[in-house]
Amino acid sequence: MGYITRQEEMVLIAIYRLKGDASLVSIRRYLNDNTENHWRMSSVYILLDRLQKAGYLEYSIGDPTPVRGGRAKKFYNLSAEGLKALLKVQQVNNLLWNGLPDLKTAL
């Protein structure tokens, strides 16, 4: 298993934090609210598709709603492989950051 990209990491973290309520719209909202970037719907969709094809995501289909014109929402969850990939990134980040002084003092 190789490393995931930073954007893939952020999407996986969003899905993990949203715990069962991770639809395309809620993932995008979470990313917009918690990063300094504006995430386009298409960008998030492409990342979700890539992560799903890599085996890092599973999904379920919700009930159709009148608000969505009778269409159902797709809800994402991390697969076991997705959780392992996120854990691997967390461990590497912890190792790399360990022992570094607070960077705010360098400004």
Write the CATH number for 64. 1.10.10.10
Does the residue 47 lie in any domain? yes
Using DSSP's 3-state secondary structure scheme, residue 107 falls into coil
Does the residue 104 lie in any domain? no
For residue range 3-40, what is the model confidence (pLDDT) as tens digits? 899 999 999 999 999 998 999 999 999 999 999 899 99
d(CA 48, CA 76): 9
Per the structure, the count of domains in the chain is: 1
- Which among 22, 1, 18 is positioned nearest to 91, based on CA atoms? 1
Does the residue 1 lie in any domain? no
For residue range 74-100, what is the model confidence (pLDDT) as tens digits? 999 999 999 999 999 999 999 998 988
Does the residue 107 lie in any domain? no
Those residues with Cβ within 8 angstroms of residue 3's Cβ, 6 or more apart along the chain or in another chain: 88, 89, 92
